[in-house]
Amino acid sequence: MTTAIHVRGLTKRYGDVQAVGGLDLEIKKGEVFAILGPNGAGKSTTVEILEGYRTRDAGEVRVLGVDPQKPTREWRAKLGIVLQTANDAAELTVRETIRHFAAYYPMARDPEEVIAKVGLTEKADVRIRKLSGGQRRRVDVALGVIGNPELLFLDEPTTGFDPEARRQFWDLIKGLAAEGTTILLTTHYLDEAEALAKRVAVIARGRIVAAGDPATLGGRATAKAKVTWADGLVETDTPTRTVLELSRRYDGEVPGLAVTRPTLEDIYLTLIEAPE
Q: For 46-61, write each residue's pLDDT tens digit.
A: 999 999 999 999 999 9
pLDDT at site 64 = 96
Domain boundary (147, 176, 191) is at: 147
Residues 95 and 195 in one domain: no
The answer to whether residue 183 is domain-embedded is: yes
Could you tell me how many residues make up the chain?
276
pLDDT at site 271 = 87
Domain boundary (124, 147, 170) is at: 147
The answer to whether residue 83 is domain-embedded is: no
Which phi and psi angles does 64 have, rounded to 5°?
A: 50, 40
pLDDT at site 273 = 82
Residues 129 and 26 in one domain: no
Domain boundary (118, 147, 176) is at: 147
SS3 category, 24: strand
Q: How far apart are CA 23 and CA 20, in angstroms?
A: 7
The answer to whether residue 84 is domain-embedded is: no
The answer to whether residue 86 is domain-embedded is: no
The answer to whether residue 209 is domain-embedded is: yes
The CATH number assigned to the domain holding 206 equals 3.40.50.300
Residues 231 and 177 in one domain: no
Strand-by-strand arrangement of the 32-36 sheet? 79-82, 151-155, 182-186, 32-36, 199-204, 207-212
Q: Which of 9-13, 61-65, 77-81, 160-164 has the lowest mean pLDDT?
A: 160-164
Residues 16 and 59 in one domain: yes
The answer to whether residue 101 is domain-embedded is: yes
Q: How far apart are CA 240 and CA 263, in angstroms?
A: 19
pLDDT at site 7 = 97
11 strand-pairing partners? 21, 58
**276 has a pLDDT exceeding 60:** no
Cβ partners under 8 Å of residue 80, min gap 6: 144, 145, 146, 147, 149, 151, 152, 153, 181
Residues 71 and 163 in one domain: yes
Residues 180 and 167 in one domain: yes
Residues 71 and 95 in one domain: no
Residues 27 and 118 in one domain: no
The answer to whether residue 243 is domain-embedded is: yes
Domain residues for the domain of 101 are 91-147
**87 has a pLDDT exceeding 70:** no
pTM of the predicted protein model? 0.83
Residues 160 and 268 in one domain: no
Which helix (H) or strand (E) is 116 found in, with range? helix 111-117
Instruction: Write out the DSSP string of 258-274.
Output: EEE---HHHHHHHHHHS
Share of the chain above pLDDT 90, in %: 56
Residues 113 and 245 in one domain: no
The answer to whether residue 127 is domain-embedded is: yes
Domain tally, the chain: 3
Radius of gyration over every alpha carbon of the chain, rounded to an integer in angstroms: 22
Residues 72 and 7 in one domain: yes
Q: How far apart are CA 76 and CA 60, in angstroms?
A: 19
